Amino acid sequence: MSGANRLILILMCLVIIAYPAKVHAEANNPELTAQNLHDMCADNSQDVQRLCGWWIYGFARGMEYSQILAYAKHLRAVTCLPANLTGEQARLSVEKYMRDHPEKLNLHAVTIAGLALTLAFPCSN
């Protein structure tokens, strides 16, 4: 085996050994960054884009639930999402915020999604 082939084989072995460690590290880091979310939403794969939409819609539903709890406890809600908010509306709001604020893509996705939806659907005082 030539020196170049041996080097390629060694490098391939290192990649095979290192890849599971990378996957394990990512799986144990539940924090989705805004950059990760942005990349998912912009991905060419329809399945990955669907994950983006589901994540944003699920997040918006969680915000709506916290809004309902605030009202039930006679507290001021931080957001005033409309009851008929669609997943597409939530997604468009979050994607626009990420496009308009690329400097914030290093933050957690929940931070960016929360900011985007709060600014898109402010409460009237």
| Domain extent listing, the chain | 1-30, 31-120
- Tokens 């979050």 -> residue: 94
Instruction: Please state, in angstroms and as integers, the Cα–Cα distance from residue 8 to each residue in 4, 14, 22, following that order.
Output: 6, 10, 20
Q: How many angstroms separate the CA atoms of 38 and 80, rounded?
A: 24
Render pLDDT for 50-81 as a digit per residue (tens, 0 to 9): 999 999 999 999 999 888 888 888 888 878 89
Which residues, given as ranges, of the chain have pLDDT below 70?
Answer: 1-30, 125
Q: pTM to 2 decimals? A: 0.72
- Predicted pLDDT at 18: 47
120, 82, 121, 124: which is closest to 101 by C-alpha? 120
- Predicted pLDDT at 96: 97
| 80 contacts 62 by C-beta, under 8 angstroms | no
Yes or no: domain 31-120 corresponds to CATH 1.10.890.40:
yes
Instruction: Please state, in angstroms and as integers, the Cα–Cα distance from residue 55 to each residue in 9, 37, 60, following that order.
Output: 40, 9, 9
The secondary structure of residue 29, as a DSSP letter, is: -
Other beta carbons within 10 angstroms of residue 103's beta carbon come to 7
- Predicted pLDDT at 102: 96
